[in-house]
Amino acid sequence: MLRRRRPRGGYRRTVPSDPQPDSERDQPRRVDNPLAGEDAGPHGAARGNLRAYLRRQATDGVHRRRALKFAADALLAAAAFALAFQLRFLDSPGGIPDRYWTMLAGTVAFVALGKAIVFSVLGLNQKWWRYFQLPDLWPVVRAAAVASGLLVAVFTLAKPYAYNLPRSVVGFDFLLTIGLLGGARLARRMIAERPDRATRRRRARGVLVVGAGSGGQMVVRELRLNPNLGARAVGFVDDDPHKRGMHAVGVKVLGSTDEIGEILDRQAPDEVVIAIPSAPGVLRARVVAACRQRDITVRTLPTVFELLRGGVQLTRQLREVRVEDVLGRDPVVMELERVGAYLEDKIVMVTGAGGSVGAELCRQIARVRPKLLVLLDHAEDNLFQIDREMLEEWHFTRVEAVLADCKEGERMLEVMQRFKPDVVFHAAAYKHVSLMEANPLEAVRNNAIATRVTAGMAAVAGAERFVLISTDKAVNPRTVMGASKAMAEWIVEANGHHHHDTRFICVRFGNVLGSSGSVVPIFRGQIAKGGPVTVTDPQMTRYFMTIPEAVQLVIQSGDLGASSGEVFVLEMGEPVRILDLARNMIHLAGYEPDVDVAIEFIGARPGEKIHEELFNLDEHAHPTSAERIVRAVRAQPLDPDWVERSIERLETLVAAGDEAGLAERVVEVVTERISDSMATPAESPASGSDAPR
């Protein structure tokens, strides 16, 4: 955009459009506006500035709305004052006596103006009338009380009339002021939420809301406040028997989820919204099954974890029901700020920070505001992504991204001594079974030896806690990947005996949904291509948990127990049959299993178990103070010297690149450990002690 330059000399030259005669130019300027002549003096300039200020205020939208609210409150106050006199003398034969008519006529304007000023000073004009709610009534009551108190004080102290203001008039005026001010604001909201004519003319989609609590009521309000969504609530479904037949935000509770089929047939909604963020999977599955039979779209509010990360508009957060929602397991809900309080103002390091579990660890640890969060990963792109996410999405700036490999002792010692972390979460690991079977050297090097290096360097640097993320595949392992993770557990337990200033902890759990390479995204991709969906064995089962749930329990586990070398196991509910998981995912995608999308059985891979386990033969579950976390107590603790000798021999074979020798030695170590487990079976939980004997 080009600017017009002023002529040199610092002033703007004016050229008349029509040349004037010299005689007219010499004449003194005539002033048509009498006020314009006054503007020449200082007082006139001040008045001109005041007029300009008032014009600006009048054209400003915010001040214009506040002025309208001020005027409306003044009119309502005047009406309340006048009605108070009418009610006071309603039973009088002649109506309001003349002397009180004189009082009313002489004071109503001053009372209205004074009350409006009080309302403005107390902030009533700063609230939007269209969003008026019950909690907003208290400021109205407070403002009315203050105004009534000032009214009594003026009439008592100033005594503008020889007779006093009737006390009943003051009481009626107070109540009427509250009623008129609150009623006007409520009416404004009702008008704002009323569908416009265009919305009423077009057919709105009927939405049945499951859950009449705060989440469901928010959904209904959003539907009313956003007519462009083209949807209306036709009813609630809620399992609380006390809500049956009641109305919430103008919508009736039609019944419970046990009657969902009948309600769907009777109401015939176009869509169902599950508005219970903490709803158990059984309830979600029941609703989804009923809607699937009737070809009705189902959407759900995000989970508690997604709500904490979500945006502003609730209806935009509604998403399609996913398989994670219908696994039949109650979700994990806890206060992260409470269970993760031990991380506050601490230096926390997360290895494998760019992976699925590591990245979620970083997100949740950032919520408890550590002194410094060190992100360590050897994959440059993954590390870059989580580092940017911490800064741009979480606005957490106390972050250091470190590109390093946990297998390199010198580099890890340098990093540990530089940052001196208080807590280390070791999530770096290889996890794909088939790849590790084909690359056993890397499996042992990255999962076992890297754990030994990282744990040792953390202890040397003076870390208070070291938490290993383990897996159920480490239990009675039959694959190289499982054996390497079992060795990692042994290493951490052995370090607990060697380094007494650092608490070493293992957290063991099953599969996490949504991680890279897990069965859910694989099935999803196969369904998108039209199938077939490949299942290894019709009887195969696995334990499942969402990544945010597992990570919260991992963080809580880091603060449990008192001794070092303990193994904590997450309770993951009942195992899920993979065939049922595949069928559910095909149904949720809108297809029919074995009709639209085929299911193909390909057989279990070498070493793959039909049913995963969470405890070794010589372990038993001992409860902890935390729900969903148990302690795996061994009947006899590991010999740390045996662990050290075994890992050193494996490390020598890895360094020599002897793949055949490594595989043979891994089998020997695992066989020896399983034999020891079978020789010392675990005691029953009733007779077991709180710590290993």
Q: For residue 272, what are its two tokens?
A: 């169902």
Kindly state whether residues 552 and 671 are assigned to the same domain.
yes
C-alpha neighbours within 13 Å on the C-beta side of residue 272: 29
Please report the pLDDT score of residue 32 as a whole number: 46
Lowest mean per-residue pLDDT among 62-66, 170-174, 552-556: 62-66
Q: What angle do CA 597, 599, 604 make, to 5 degrees?
A: 155
Please report the pLDDT score of residue 53 as a whole number: 52
In the predicted model, what is the mean pLDDT of residues 212-234?
Answer: 81
The DSSP element (H or E) to which 247 belongs, if any, is strand 247-248
Q: What is the sign, positive or negative, of the torsion defined by CA atoms of 391, 392, 394, 395?
A: positive
In the predicted model, what is the mean pLDDT of residues 68-91?
Answer: 86
Please report the pLDDT score of residue 691 as a whole number: 35
Supply the range of the domain harboring residue 149.
61-193
Please report the pLDDT score of residue 149 as a whole number: 87
In terms of average pLDDT, the best of 187-191, 261-265, 524-528, 672-676 is: 261-265
Q: What is the pLDDT of residues 641-665, one digit of tens each?
A: 899 999 999 999 998 988 888 888 8
Residue bearing the bigger pLDDT, 681 or 578: 578
- Whole-number mean pLDDT of the chain? 81
Q: Say yes or no to pLDDT of 14 above 60.
A: no
Q: What is the pTM of this model?
A: 0.64
User: What does DSSP say about strands 544-546 and 619-623: parallel, antiparallel, or unpaired?
Assistant: unpaired
* Distance (Å, whole) CA 439 – CA 346: 37
Kindly state whether residues 305 and 419 are assigned to the same domain.
no
Q: Which amino acid is at 563?
A: S
Last residue of a domain, one of 159, 193, 227: 193
Q: Which long-range contacts (CB under 8 A, 24 or more apart) does 494-498 make?
A: 494/565, 494/638, 494/640, 494/643, 494/644, 495/455, 495/456, 495/459, 495/466, 495/564, 495/565, 496/563, 496/564, 496/565, 496/566, 497/564, 497/565, 497/640, 498/459, 498/640
Residue 334 lies in a domain: no
Burial status of residue 190 (CB atoms within 10 A of its CB: 0-12, 13-18, 19 or more): exposed
In the predicted model, what is the mean pLDDT of residues 522-536?
Answer: 89
Residue bearing the bigger pLDDT, 200 or 509: 509
Distance of CA 200 to the CA centre of its chain: 34
Kindly state whether residues 229 and 368 are assigned to the same domain.
no
Residue 212 lies in a domain: yes
Q: What is the pLDDT of residues 559-600, one digit of tens each?
A: 987 778 899 999 887 888 999 888 888 887 778 888 888 999
**Is residue 321 very low, low, confident or very high in pLDDT (cuts 50, 70, 90)?**
low
Residue bearing the bigger pLDDT, 589 or 632: 632
Sheet holding 372-377, edge to edge: 399-403, 372-377, 347-351, 423-426, 465-471, 503-509, 566-570, 629-634, 619-623
Last residue of a domain, one of 193, 217, 234: 193
Lowest mean per-residue pLDDT among 144-158, 264-278, 293-307: 293-307
Residue 363 lies in a domain: yes
Please report the pLDDT score of residue 323 as a whole number: 62
**Is residue 196 very low, low, confident or very high in pLDDT (cuts 50, 70, 90)?**
low
Lowest mean per-residue pLDDT among 175-179, 296-300, 594-598: 296-300
Please report the pLDDT score of residue 693 as a whole number: 27
Q: Give a three-class secondary structure readout of 634-650.
A: ECCCCCHHHHHHHHHHH
* Distance (Å, whole) CA 34 – CA 207: 67
Residue 36 lies in a domain: no
Backbone angle region of 395, left / alpha / beta, with phi > 0 → left and psi within -120 to 50 → alpha? left
* φ, ψ of residue 531 in degrees (nearest 5): 95, -175
* Distance (Å, whole) CA 552 – CA 339: 8
**Is residue 27 very low, low, confident or very high in pLDDT (cuts 50, 70, 90)?**
very low
Residue 470 lies in a domain: yes
Please report the pLDDT score of residue 229 as a whole number: 73
Please report the pLDDT score of residue 62 as a whole number: 61
Q: Say yes or no to pLDDT of 3 above 50.
A: no
- Is there a contact between 503 and 464 (Cβ–Cβ < 8 Å)? yes
Please report the pLDDT score of residue 331 as a whole number: 61
Distance of CA 620 to the CA centre of its chain: 36
Q: Say yes or no to pLDDT of 24 above 60.
A: no
Residue 644 lies in a domain: yes
Please report the pLDDT score of residue 360 as a whole number: 92
Kindly state whether residues 317 and 353 are assigned to the same domain.
no
**Is residue 4 very low, low, confident or very high in pLDDT (cuts 50, 70, 90)?**
very low
Please report the pLDDT score of residue 670 as a whole number: 85
Kindly state whether residues 205 and 168 are assigned to the same domain.
no
**Is residue 465 very low, low, confident or very high in pLDDT (cuts 50, 70, 90)?**
very high
Q: Say yes or no to pLDDT of 413 above 70.
A: yes
Kindly state whether residues 140 and 236 are assigned to the same domain.
no
Coil, strand, or helix at residue 684?
Answer: coil
In the predicted model, what is the mean pLDDT of residues 415-442?
Answer: 92
Please name the residue that has the structure tokens 């360094």.
Answer: 655
Burial status of residue 507 (CB atoms within 10 A of its CB: 0-12, 13-18, 19 or more): buried
Kindly state whether residues 184 and 212 are assigned to the same domain.
no
**Is residue 25 very low, low, confident or very high in pLDDT (cuts 50, 70, 90)?**
very low
- Is there a contact between 111 and 77 (Cβ–Cβ < 8 Å)? yes
**Is residue 690 very low, low, confident or very high in pLDDT (cuts 50, 70, 90)?**
very low
In terms of average pLDDT, the best of 41-55, 88-102, 326-340 is: 88-102
* Distance (Å, whole) CA 307 – CA 305: 5
Kindly state whether residues 620 and 558 are assigned to the same domain.
yes
Q: Say yes or no to pLDDT of 351 above 90.
A: yes
Residue 135 lies in a domain: yes
Please report the pLDDT score of residue 687 as a whole number: 35
Residue 524 lies in a domain: no
Kindly state whether residues 412 and 557 are assigned to the same domain.
yes
Please report the pLDDT score of residue 531 as a whole number: 85
* Distance (Å, whole) CA 56 – CA 42: 21
Query: In the chain, how many domains are there?
Result: 3
Q: What percent of the chain has pLDDT over 70?
A: 81
* Distance (Å, whole) CA 431 – CA 473: 10
Please report the pLDDT score of residue 532 as a whole number: 92
Please report the pLDDT score of residue 193 as a whole number: 65
Q: Say yes or no to pLDDT of 443 above 70.
A: yes
Kindly state whether residues 245 and 280 are assigned to the same domain.
yes
- Is there a contact between 209 and 251 (Cβ–Cβ < 8 Å)? yes
* φ, ψ of residue 549 in degrees (nearest 5): -65, -45
Q: Say yes or no to pLDDT of 46 above 50.
A: yes
Please report the pLDDT score of residue 302 as a whole number: 66
Please report the pLDDT score of residue 660 as a whole number: 87
Residue 279 sits in a domain whose CATH number is: 3.40.50.720
Q: What angle do CA 200, 204, 206 make, to 5 degrees?
A: 135
Kindly state whether residues 562 and 633 are assigned to the same domain.
yes
Residue closest to 213 by CA, chosen among 244, 236, 190, 189: 236
Kindly state whether residues 352 and 242 are assigned to the same domain.
no
**Is residue 54 very low, low, confident or very high in pLDDT (cuts 50, 70, 90)?**
low
- Is there a contact between 542 and 576 (Cβ–Cβ < 8 Å)? yes
Lowest mean per-residue pLDDT among 125-134, 271-280, 410-419, 624-633: 125-134
Q: Say yes or no to pLDDT of 11 above 50.
A: no
Q: What is the pLDDT of residues 107-138, one digit of tens each?
A: 888 888 888 888 888 887 777 776 777 777 88
Burial status of residue 259 (CB atoms within 10 A of its CB: 0-12, 13-18, 19 or more): middle
Q: Say yes or no to pLDDT of 463 above 90.
A: yes
Which residues, 6 or more positions from 583, have their beta carbon under 8 angstroms from its beta carbon? Answer: 593, 599
* Distance (Å, whole) CA 550 – CA 572: 9
Q: Give a three-class secondary structure readout of 220-245.
A: HHHHHHCHHHCEEEEEEECCCHHHCC
Last residue of a domain, one of 193, 215, 245: 193
Q: What percent of the chain has pLDDT over 90?
A: 26
